[in-house]
Amino acid sequence: MKTAEIHRRWLDFFEKRGHTVVPSASLVSDDPSLMFTVAGMVPFVPYLSGMVPAPYPRATSVQKCIRTNDIEEVGKTPRHGTFFQMAGNFSFGDYFKEGAISFAWDLLTTSEEEGGLGFRPEDLWVTVYEEDDEALALWKQHSTLPDERIQKLGKDTNYWSTGQPGPAGPCSEIFFDMGPEYGIDGGPITDDDRYVEIWNLVFMQYQVADVKSKTDFTILGELPKKNIDTGLGLERVAFIKQGVQNMYEIDQVRPVLDRAAELAKKTYGANHEDDVLLRVIADHVRSGLMLIADGVTPSNEGRGYILRRLLRRVTRSMRQLGVEGPSFAELFPVSRDAMKAAYPAVEHDFDFIARAAYAEEKTFLRTLASGSQTLDTAVAEAKQAGGSVSGETAFLLHDTFGFPVELTLEVAEEAGVSVDAEVFKTLMQEQRDRAKADAKAKKGQRADLSVYKELRGLGETLFTGYDELTHESRVLGIVVDGAPAREAHEGQVAELVLAETSLWAESGGQDADQGLILGDGFEAEVLDVQKPVQGLIVHTVRVLIGTIAVDARAETQVDADYRRGATQAHSGTHLVHAALRDVLGPNAHQTGSYNKAGYLRLDFSHSDALSTETKSEIEEISNLAIRSDYEVVTREMGLEEAKALGAMALFGEKYGDRVRVVDIGGAWSRELCAGTHVSSSAEVGMISLVSESSVGSTNRRIESLVGIEAFRNFAAERAIVQQLTSGLKVPRTELITKVQDLGAQLKQAEKKIAALEAEKLGQRIPELLAGAEQLGGSRVLLASLGSVGSADDVRSMALQLREKLGSDSAVVVLAGEAAGKPVVIAATNPAARENGVKAGALAKLAAQVLGGGGGGKDDLAQGGGTDPAKIGDALAEIRRTLGA
């Protein structure tokens, strides 16, 4: 049975039993505490916890998930994967234990011909919580399992909680018995791999507090509404139903494994170490495919770093199998074809996915080439000294070469040495601290989300700001220092929840509004507006005058100038996006944005830097759209209707069933967008592109000033031009020529200085030749030149000296200090190389002393480092080596 067929049968079964089919949420979790969707229940947490009223009494889904905490186990066990699919059925105060147990047994044991999964009852085992007699009785009532195949286990395995105060309850797990050839008898209680857990039924029954550990907490009582949360591992069921040994051999994964084996000229099953690498490749390619399909792109931070690590582990594994060149163009199309039946988007968006993946591979192959030399040197030194690779080196590799520290650890482990991980962590933390030093935390510490549960239960906050800047409302709740409060007093910073608001909460790339909240006897400045919980708008305010109390009347007042600037910037973002696609083509997807009054930032999928001409064209098209005074129309409609109209959904964004469509000039720019906008494009005023840069191997970023800020920028540049024309005493039309002439004169002067320095060095040749000595059968010239202009000066001198030493075995090693860094050049003639003296080995030896890396060819090589004071020591080490 194909994995996509199991997927379909699951949804069909529960839909026929009154469950609302909920499409898989994105792998990018809405939960701010989670980087990814790590379990099938994550999208339903607001409903299961009671934070948000459930829109349906029962639901079912097959949820895409990513977990990387066990990444080192991938490929080594039958069921550890980074990407997996969790099928679930959920009840929000509707059916409870009996319904969950009867549904599970029916689906598992109903024959394939009748739409079930066709498991034999004699292959199934069940565990229940040791004190849950109700579940035990229900299993006996609704299944044909004998008593000995229903086992009781304790809290550590069969009791579920979030690890925080809140809902919790016992669970019941269903296992498949692989057979006696896979392990010992005795059932799941043996904890043997023979018994594969396929389905977990969680009975969310109690409210717990004082949670000290997984097994130590206090049960406060039963929940007023009991919920069901179940999860069946689709890959686990697939490998059982397909009769294969593990999840890497199922139909959605095995094709990639086979293609990787073919590229590497390996036979799967012939060698354990190779098999593990092939499984890692198959798993990580699929995970990369699905992550990029959900809008994640490789980067050095957050989700992008996880994706980068996965992709680079693929490249690393392929190299370990003997494939040195690029392989993603062979592997990703295979994964696409294996996954498209269940997830059509991977085929529809494959051009974008492929560009992101292939560019990352190309970048990493360059990284491997440039960083491997440094890493190899560090590993060799550590091995020779019986120590470890320094944390400083690991940080250098990460920060300069883009080596994931995990790769450094893997390479070091293979060589039998360790890495000073603590020093690396310290340096990484120092870097993060420096990055944050200049950024004042605007958001501050937000209260625990449970604080908003009761407030959200009062209903959604109505946003009225599309049509008005002021609105009369009522204070529903106040949060001070993370806890509910009845009042907020003058001077305090507090969070206010109102019934309605005209203030925009930060979302969709648009920054929060600025403004005031006023009432009888109080005035508060709005510091921030956010949506910490779906449907709830929270205003962070500083109380300027008086006291704010719950139930008080309150008027929200948006700063009109700020809102005008913000709408100009948001509409300007749409104009720039349309211009980008006009110039670069439809593959230039927007991948992120941020806009506020006077400024917009737009990230888009593109690999190459934009030329000056291209940037000017994009800027001109955007401003021509402003001059054209296009009408801006917003409409609300169903998602499918909007897509049929050609409205652009931004890649990786999540949308509900009802969406807002923003047209600028009709179909010229038609996007799904909930933000605030101008009423005509002329109101944007002006767009001035100020920068274009890379934010990843497949992403570029445009930054632009908008409206009055764009005008001010042009005015400032005009003032600079006036100062230059005045100072250089040329008209504006001749300014560029004058600056170019000055640049040419400077280059000529630099060439003259370089020639003089080279001539000065050349005058030292006789003196240096006189210092040559006989070592180990070769005439050896070792010398430090002191301060030099560049490494080229040292190289030129070494070649001249090697020539003058004649045809007998001769070795030249010169060192110098260029721009504060030591540089070493080693040169050997043919006779010396016949004697076994190689320039590359000498340069590498010197570089090790200098704290850097080096190498090259046998006849000419270069090394470098960080400490010029050790040049003498480096030359002495070479003298000792050659004289040995």
Which helix H or strand E contains 138, and what residues bound it? helix 133-142
The Cα 513–Cα 641 span in angstroms is 30
Is the separation of the CB atoms in 600 and 704 below 8 Å?
yes
Query: How is residue 116 written in tokens?
Result: 């079930």
The Cα 238–Cα 565 span in angstroms is 54
DSSP letter for 513, please: P
Provide the terminal-to-terminal Cα distance of the chain, rounded to the nearest Å: 70
Which backbone phi and psi does 796 adopt, to 5 degrees?
-60, -45
Question: For residue 622, which of 678, 656, 581 has the smallest C-alpha distance?
Answer: 581
b/e map 15-50, b = 16+ CB within 10 Å? eebebeebebbbbbbeeeeebbbbbbbbbbbbbbbb
Query: How is residue 178 written in tokens?
Result: 């692989």
Beta bridge partners of 168: 161, 206
Q: Check the annotation: does 574 bind a ligand.
A: yes
The Cα 825–Cα 324 span in angstroms is 30
The Cα 220–Cα 208 span in angstroms is 5
Other CB atoms closer than 10 Å to residue 80's CB: what's the count? Answer: 19
Distance of CA 221 to the CA centre of its chain: 40
The Cα 17–Cα 63 span in angstroms is 19
* Beta-strand relationship, 699-706 and 821-828: unpaired
What separation in angstroms does the CA of 564 have from each of 139, 466, 643?
Answer: 63, 12, 29
Beta bridge partners of 493: 542
The Cα 339–Cα 294 span in angstroms is 14
Which helix H or strand E contains 108, and what residues bound it? helix 97-109
Question: For residue 157, which of 183, 139, 130, 182 has the smallest C-alpha distance?
Answer: 130
Q: Check the annotation: does 570 bind a ligand.
A: yes
The Cα 76–Cα 622 span in angstroms is 54
Which helix H or strand E contains 431, and what residues bound it? helix 421-437
CA-CA-CA-CA dihedral for 564, 566, 568, 570, to nearest 10: -150
Q: In sequence order, what are the residues at sequence separation of 6 or more whose Cβ sits closer than 8 angstroms to the Cβ of residue 545? A: 490, 521, 522, 523
b/e map 383-417, b = 16+ CB within 10 Å? eeeeebbbbebbbbbbeebbbbbebbbbbbeebeb
Which helix H or strand E contains 354, and what residues bound it? helix 350-385
* Beta-strand relationship, 854-856 and 821-828: unpaired
DSSP letter for 507, please: B
Query: How is residue 698 written in tokens?
Result: 């497949």
Q: Check the annotation: does 272 bind a ligand.
A: no
Place of tokens 């300007």: 572
Beta bridge partners of 127: 151, 173
In single-letter form, the type of residue at position 335 comes to: S
The Cα 515–Cα 526 span in angstroms is 5
Other CB atoms closer than 10 Å to residue 273's CB: what's the count? Answer: 10
Helix/strand/coil percent split, the chain, to 5: 45, 25, 30
* Beta-strand relationship, 778-787 and 810-818: parallel
The Cα 413–Cα 361 span in angstroms is 23
Q: Check the annotation: does 7 bind a ligand.
A: no
Rounded (5°) CA angle 527-531-532: 100
The secondary structure of 465-493 as a DSSP string is TTT-SEEEEEEEEEEETTEEESEEETT-E
The Cα 685–Cα 623 span in angstroms is 8
Annotated binding site: 570, 574, 673, 677
Annotated binding site for Zn(2+): 570, 574, 673, 677
